[in-house]
Amino acid sequence: MMETVAFISTENGDDLIVSFAVIDPADPTEVESLTLLRTPKYEHLLGDWERGVSVSFERYVEDDEELLEALHLDRKSAVVRLTTSLRNYELDIRKIGEREVKAMRKVLTRMNYDRRIRLLGI
């Protein structure tokens, strides 16, 4: 199912964060956060299998660790496809401005410093 994104917020400090505000299909006035998070500063404390970009979606709060495996940005159709260890997401980003997309691309590039993620279109 294609999810519509209302806006994207990013953080580019000790924590590297890309958060998609996904419009809730049950209530179009509400959003649910789909967040990609990586903290390289402390990642060396984790086991190798735990390292990478963690994915959390408010819709699936009961899930265990979900790690990002691939992200494809299709600029022509304005779609972001995420492949994680648990599921796939398709995000419609047509409502998102170029500044937000550029910030997202910058943070995703930093998140992938060790090439654990297959990034396409970034």
Q: Quote the pLDDT of residue 63.
A: 66
Which pLDDT does position 44 carry in this prediction? 77
Model confidence pLDDT, tens digit, residues 62-104: 767 899 999 999 999 999 999 999 999 999 999 999 999 999 9
- How far the first Cα of the chain sits from its last, in Å, is 23
Could you give the strand order of the β-sheet that contains 54-57, starting from the edge strand earlier in sequence?
A: 54-57, 31-38, 16-23, 2-12, 88-92, 79-84, 68-74, 118-120
User: What's the average model confidence in pLDDT over 3-9?
Assistant: 96
- Helix (H/G/I), strand (E/B), else coil: 55: strand
For all residues of the chain together, what is the average pLDDT?
Answer: 92
- Kindly report the pTM of this predicted structure: 0.91
CB 10 within 8 A of CB 107: yes
Predicted confidence band at 5 (pLDDT cuts at 50, 70, 90)?
very high
Closest Cα partner for 31 from 7, 55, 63? 7
- How many distinct helices (H) and strands (E) make up the chain? 2, 8
Q: pLDDT tens, 31-64?
A: 999 999 999 888 877 777 778 999 999 888 776 7
Identify whether the C-beta of residue 37 lies closer than 8 Å to the C-beta of residue 17.
yes
Q: Say if CB 116 and CB 53 are below 8 A apart.
A: yes
Which residue ranges make up each domain of the chain?
2-120
